Amino acid sequence: MTTLVRPATRADLPLVAQLIRDLAAYEKLSHAVRFDEATLGEHLFGPRPMAEVLVAEQDGMGQGFALFFHNFSTFEGKPGIYLEDLYVRPEARGAGLGKALLQALAGLAIARGCARLEWSVLDWNAPSIAFYRSLGARMMDEWRIMRVDSAALQQLGAVSQG
């Protein structure tokens, strides 16, 4: 079995979109998927990409992906990589694709002078938590994610628009 991790191209957009939908179904969040594929493509492969994607292939077939972007640590004074989503199709799990994706991301972080690689994991996802810990990741228990979206985002941003 041949494994390959490579940067996604615009030609991979249908695969990436399907893997995002598959991830949402796995996380029981299919109802939250609202992206338009053309807009997603512009944000990933357009003139000013907002995120990057790595694709994991097994024998030439796309079986997983990692979508990530740069963040910045003011305390470190260096960039970091934030992994937004990592997913490997169930039938391809156990073959090392998840580990290969994380190794590729860690390699990119090192090559780009990043201080760290970070991501979030759902608290009920015990298999993923165990997997991440086996790779040396540690849980940041003292931190909580905050989010402003939908109407609250519109309301908060309305002051700067006026």
Q: How far is CA 56 from the centre of its chain?
A: 13
What secondary structure does DSSP assign to 134-158, as a single string? HTT----TT-------HHHHHHHHH
CA dist 161 and 72 (Å) reads: 26
CA-to-CA separations, 144 to 14, 71, 79, in angstroms, rounded: 33, 17, 20
Specify the pairing of strand 117-119 against strand 78-88: parallel
**DSSP structural state of residue 92:** G
Q: How many CB atoms lie within 10 A of CB 3?
A: 16
Q: By the 8 A CB rule, do 88 and 56 touch?
A: yes
Q: Which residues are catalytic?
A: 132
